[in-house]
Copies of this chain bind each other. A is one copy, B any other.
Amino acid sequence: MRLTIGVDVGGTKVAAGVVDTTGTVHRTVRQPTPSTEGPDAATEVVCAAIEELLGDPGLGAEVDGIGIGTPGFVDESRSVVTFAPNLPWREEPLRSRVHERFGLPVVVENDANAAAWAEVRFGAAQNASEVVCVTLGTGIGGGLVLGGEPYRGRFGIAAEIGHFQVVPNGRRCGCGKDGCWEQYASGRALVATARSLMDSVPERAVRLREQCGDDSQQLTGQDVMTAAQAGDAIALEAFAVVGAWAGQGIAALTAILDPEYVVLGGGVADGGEIIMDPMRAAFQRHVTGGSFRRLPELRQAQLGSAAGLVGAADLARR
């Protein structure tokens, strides 16, 4: 069986695994990301993880390629990490560094694209050609598969879907602009919405207040999720508000891209029907041409946190 290694570089940890052609992960290693020690240290941690897997007596010898998913911008040749927020890499020639070390073919891919690819190959959107993956985490990440291939754009930075404007003159975004989708439909937006509702109508947020010790500034996304699952009215409403914004943005992406599936991942999507229901309702209301066209199906992601690793490994085969 042909095996490849997939690496998922995150802001806090590097995860790597040996993956077979069915997307099954055979062994995984995890190491903290040394984000403050310069680019070489970060590259070294990636290499150490790969080395450990290659040294596996049963698996290492069969590995014939390496795929690396990384946050940030990857250049159009899939070689160089030009910029990665929360990582020390700037114009880091990651592919050649890793290739020189191990002599195996290496591909470098944006992590959201890698995760999207994994969902298309082995997850929620198998065999589909046009797929939009939306990761509702702290912020919003995006990955596109178009025409059956990962879509990277001309300069390698397509699918910055968290940063198209949904509200003119809206909430300030960390990216420096106003009204980005991420400010309305992400995990951070979920917490901000719950906090604001809780402060406005505290009497209706009983469970939510317990959850955060009655201090809305301490509220976390997990608190909102727990309270919502326990039926807290305000937590549910926060999910409804955020879900409606999510659906509205998906309607925009659908007008532009006409996908077969929109796959929702990330911590907010773990809310399941609590978030999917209002999302689908808003999507249906906002999408143009609704009754005259076929619409994409909105699905929850299936591969969870392994998606980036699995997708990177699979891309190494291509």
Contact = CB atoms under 8 A, between A and B. Distances in A.
Interface of A: 73, 83, 128-130, 142, 146-147, 149, 151-161, 163-173, 175-178, 180, 184, 192, 196-197, 199-202, 248, 251-253, 255-260, 281, 284-294, 296
Taking the full assembly, how many copies of this chain does it contain?
4
B165 A168 contact: no
Given A180-B288, A288-B177, A292-B73, A256 B258 contact: no
Contacts of A171: 169-172, 178
12 contacts: A130-B153, A154-B260, A157-B258, A159-B256, A164-B251, A164-B256, A165-B286, A167-B170, A176-B199, A176-B288, A177-B287, A197-B285
Contact of A289 (B160, B166, B294): B160
Given A153-B130, A284-B200, A164 B255 contact: yes
B164 A167 contact: no
A285 B201 CA distance: 7
Given A147-B146, A164-B252, A153 B286 contact: no
Contact of A147 (B149, B163, B168, B259): B149
Contacts of A178: 171, 196
Contacts of A83: 292
Contacts of A165: 166, 248, 251-252, 286
Contacts of A251: 164-165
A286 to B, nearest CB: 6
A151 B129 CA distance: 12
A303 to B, nearest CB: 21
Nearest to A253: B256
A142 B255 CA distance: 11
A4 to B, nearest CB: 24
Contact of A151 (B146, B180, B294): B146
Given A167-B170, A180-B288, A251-B164, A281 B201 contact: yes
A84 to B, nearest CB: 11
Given A158-B256, A168-B166, A200 B285 contact: yes
A248 B160 CA distance: 15
A70 B173 CA distance: 35
Nearest to A293: B157
A99 to B, nearest CB: 25
Contacts of A292: 73, 83
A256 B256 contact: yes
A1 to B, nearest CB: 31
A165 B296 CA distance: 18
Closest 3 CB pairs of A and B: A153-B258, A163-B288, A158-B258
